Amino acid sequence: MRQDDIAAYLNAASQFLDLPIHPEHYEDVLTAFAVICSHAKHVMEFTLPVEIEAAPRFTP
């Protein structure tokens, strides 16, 4: 995602969730979200075999 897209998503999500981001924290939250998006891209590129099934419940 481009930085502009991330900022637009962050603003929309913040309003939708009624979760204000204080101006002094905005740049740090934006940076953290950009890192999360970068990591998510790698996760989404990883293909799983068709025979993999989701566990109904995780039990440690």
30, 35, 41, 47: CA torsion to nearest 10: -140
In the prediction, which pLDDT does 2 show? Answer: 85
In the prediction, which pLDDT does 52 show? Answer: 86
The tens digit of pLDDT for each residue in 2-57 reads 888 999 999 999 999 999 999 999 999 999 999 999 999 999 998 888 888 887 88
- CA 4 to CA 50: how far, in whole Å? 35
Q: What is this structure's pTM?
A: 0.69
Furthest-apart CA pair in the chain: how many Å?
Answer: 47
In the prediction, which pLDDT does 8 show? Answer: 95
Helix axes 3-16, 23-45, angle to 10 degrees: 110
In this structure, what token pair is assigned to residue 23? 């101006």
In the prediction, which pLDDT does 59 show? Answer: 79
In the prediction, which pLDDT does 32 show? Answer: 95
